[in-house]
A and B are shown apart, each in its own frame.
Chain A
Amino acid sequence: MTTMPQEERVRFTADASTSRWVVARPWVKVVAVVMIASFFAFPLYWVVSMSFKPRPEWNPPGKVYWAPQSPTIDNYTNLLGLKSTEDSVFATQRSASALTPFKNSIILSVGGTLLALFAGIVTAYGIARFRAGGGLLPFQILQLRMFPPVAIIIPLLFFYVAIKLYDTYWGVIILYGAITFPFVVWLMRSFFQDVPREISEAAIVDGCTQWGAFFKAVLPQVKGGLAATGLFVFILNWSDFLIAKVMTTDVHSTAPVYLQSLQGGASGNEYGLQAALACLLILPPAIFGLAIQRYLVRGLTFGAIKR
C-alpha cells in the first residue's frame, strides 16, 4: 500500500505555482470535493425523495418540490401490492405487483452470475496457468463482447423459440452467463497471473491433485478479485433490459422491464412508483457490495500493489 499522499503527488506532477496553491489551501480541495460529490449524488437524492412523494407532488405543472411536502410510503406499498389505493386504478396494464419481476431479477441475475463465474474461472485459470487454447483464445473470448447483443437478439429469439428456451429461466440464465463470461475470463485471468505458479506447485508436491491445488492453494489467493468480479458481473446482469424484454413474457420478466411498464400508456408516467422501484433495485447490489466489502478493496486494487 504505497500510494503517495495526495499533496506529494500534486507536487511532483503539477508546476510549482499550482502545487503551492493546492497544498497551501486545503479548503480548496474540500470545496471541490463537495461540489463534485453533490453533482453526482443529486440524481440519487432526487430518486429517493421522489419515492416518498404523494402523486400530487410528482410533477405538478409550473412547480418543483425539492423535498416531499407530505412524505408517504404509499408508493412502496402500492408497488409491492400490499395496498390498493385509488391511485393505482389507472395502472391496469402492469401486473399486480413488482414482487414477481423482482424475484425473477434475483433468480436470473444470480443464476447468470454463478454460471459466468464458474465457466469463467475455470477458463481463466486454464489460460493463465496452462496457456490453454493458445495465445489467441483470450482475444477470441473477448471478441464475444465486440458486437452488441442487440445485433443478434432477434435471430436468437427464433432460435430460442425453436429449442424451447424462450420465456424460461434457463434460457435467460444461459444468455446472461454467456454475455458476462468474457469479463470473468479477462478479470480473473489477470488475478490468476498474479499468483506465482510455485504456489500451486507447492501444493501438488505436498500431495494435492491439480484440482485440489487449485481450490486449496490458488483460489484463496484471488478471493478479492473473485468478489470484485462477481459484483461487477452481477450488476451487469441486474441492469439488463434488452434480453429480458425480448426473451421473456410477464411470467419470467425482470424488474427493469417492469420499471419500463410504469411509464406511458393508459396510466401516464408513474414517477413515484418508478422512483420507489429504482430505490429497491439499488438494494441488492448495494447489499452484495457491503457484504463483500472486506475483499472488495483488495480486489479492486489487486494488480496495483507490488508485493
Chain B
Amino acid sequence: MAGIRLENITKRFGAITALDGVSFEVADGEFFAILGPPGAGKTTTLRTIVGLEKPDEGDVYLGGERVTETYPGDRDIAIVFQNLALYPDRTVFKNLAFPLKQQKIAKGEIEERVRATARTLRIEHLLERRPAKLSGGERQRVALGRAIVREPEAYLLDEPISALDALLRLEMRTELKRLQRDVGRTMIYVTHDQVEAMSMADRILVLREGVVQQVGAPAEIYHRPANRFVATVVGSPPMNFLRATASWEEGTLRVSHPRFQVAAAAAHLRERLPEGAACLVAVRPEDVRVELAGEGMPATIYATEPLGGETIVDLNLDNRVVKAIASPALALSEDQEVRVHFEPRRLHLFAESGDALLSAAGEDVFAFTLAT
C-alpha cells in the first residue's frame, strides 16, 4: 500500500552531483537498507523521499502516487535525522507529543499514544526529562519514538545507531529489527556499516557517489556483487583480487594466473573479454583455505592478526597480498611457508574495469587447477 519508488532522481548542489539518476523501489512493509561510504548521497536520498530536498530531475512516488511536489508534512513519512534533532527545550513527553499535536489529535489520545510508544521503546521512566539529560542510547530511542508515535506509512532512519558504542549498537540492531517486524511498516535504513545492512535488511541498495551500484537481498549482494566496489564494501576483511589473463578455447574461457588456472564455460563473455585481456579473479578471505602442507599453491605468511576465534592471515602469493581467515589451531607465524587453496564454488571473475563478469555463488561454475 505504501511502497516507495524513486524514478531517475538527480540532485545537484552547485557543482556537486549528490544523486545521479537514482531509481529504486521499496515494497510495502520492507526493511530496506541504503549502504554507502560517507558522501555517497544517502542522506540526500532520504531528504528527497521525505521532501526536504526537491530533485532537479526525476520523481518520487509514495504508494503509487506521485509526491514530488507534495509538502513534507503531507507525505505521512517520518524521518529520524542523523543528528536526531530532538527539541532540546521540550521534555521527552512533549517531544513525542509534538507530531500528534500538529495533527490536532485530542489530548487524551495523545497521552495514550505517547505512553504506548514509550512503553514499546522502554523509555517510560524518562518522559519528564529533557534531551540534554539523556544518554546517547536513550536519545536514540526518543528520536525513534517521535517517528513511531505518528504511525506513518514509512520510516526513514539516517544512520540511527552509528553514534552509539559497539555493545549498545549490537543491542539496538536486534531491537530495531524486532520493532520493524512488529510495526510492519516500510522502513528505509541508511548506514555505512555493512554488518548493519547485511544483518538487518530484507534488501540492500549500495550507493556510491550518487550512483546506484546494486540493489538486492543480502545474500545476493554477498554472493553476486555487481562490481568490485560492492564486492569490497561487503564482507570483512574485503575480497581479494588477483590479476590474470584470459584466453579462449572454443566456448571455454581459461583464465591464467602464475599459480593457477580457472576454466569456465562462458561463451557469452567472449565479447567483453577478448583473447589475452586482463581480468581479475576474486575470492573472499573466508574462502581461502590455508594448510601447513599438501597440494596447494605455495605462499609465505606476511602477517597474522589473531582475533581469538579466528586468525586473519596476510599471505604473500606470487608477490601479492592475499588475505585469508584461518583457524587459530594452525598456530601460524610470520615468514612460515604454507599451502593455499581457493574454494572454486566461491570464485568471482571481474573485468579490469571492475564490473563483475561471473560469480560461482556456490555452483560448480569454475574448474580450478594449479599451475604446473
Contacts and interface: CB of A to CB of B under 8 A. Distances in A.
Interface of A is mostly: helix
B89 A206 contact: no
A48 B98 CA distance: 51
A199 B146 CA distance: 13
B136 interface: no
A204 interface: yes
B99 interface: yes
Interface string A194-218: 0010110111111111001000110
Contacts of A220: 87, 89-90
B107 to A, nearest CB: 17
Contact of B87 (A204, A207, A212, A217): A217
A206 B81 contact: no
B73 A221 contact: no
A203 B90 CA distance: 13
Interface in B61-80: 72-73, 75, 77-79
B87 A205 contact: no
Contacts, number: 57
A220 B50 CA distance: 25
Nearest to A206: B99
Interface residues of A, number: 19
Contact of B50 (A199, A205, A307): A205
A214 to B, nearest CB: 13
B151 to A, nearest CB: 13
B102 interface: yes
Contact of A205 (B77, B82, B89, B103): B77
Contacts of B98: 203, 206, 216
A205 B79 contact: yes
B162 interface: no
Interface residues of B, number: 25
A201 B150 contact: no
A93 B252 CA distance: 115
B163 interface: no
Contact of A202 (B75, B85, B89): B85
A204 B81 contact: no
Given A204-B72, A205-B73, A205-B78, A221 B102 contact: no
B52 interface: yes
A201 B85 contact: yes
A107 B39 CA distance: 54
Contacts of B132: 307
A202 B73 CA distance: 9
A221 B132 CA distance: 13
B258 interface: no
A206 B85 contact: no
Given A205-B50, A205-B79, A221 B72 contact: no
B274 interface: no
B36 to A, nearest CB: 20
A196 B102 contact: no
Contacts of A217: 87
Contacts of A307: 132
Given A196-B85, A201-B81, A202-B85, A207 B52 contact: no
B83 A206 contact: no
A205 B52 CA distance: 8
Interface in B138-154: 146, 150
Nearest to A216: B98
Interface string A85-102: 000000000000000000
A19 B52 CA distance: 54
Q: Which residue, B50, B82, B99, B132, has most C-beta atoms of chain A within 10 A? A: B99
B321 to A, nearest CB: 42
Given A201-B52, A205-B52, A206-B102, A221 B89 contact: yes
Nearest to B77: A205
A206 B150 contact: yes
Given A201-B52, A220-B89, A207 B99 contact: yes
Interface of A: 196, 198-199, 201-209, 212, 216-217, 220-221, 223, 307
24 contacts: A198-B81, A198-B84, A199-B85, A201-B52, A201-B72, A201-B85, A202-B81, A203-B87, A203-B98, A204-B52, A204-B72, A205-B73, A206-B98, A206-B99, A206-B146, A206-B150, A207-B103, A208-B73, A208-B102, A216-B98, A220-B87, A221-B88, A221-B89, A307-B132
Interface of B: 50-52, 72-73, 75, 77-79, 81-85, 87-90, 98-99, 102-103, 132, 146, 150
Q: Give the top 4 A-B pairs by smallest Cβ distance, nearest first.
A: A207-B102, A198-B85, A206-B99, A207-B73
Given A202-B81, A202-B85, 12 more contacts: A198-B81, A205-B51, A205-B52, A205-B72, A205-B77, A205-B79, A206-B73, A206-B78, A206-B99, A206-B150, A207-B102, A221-B88
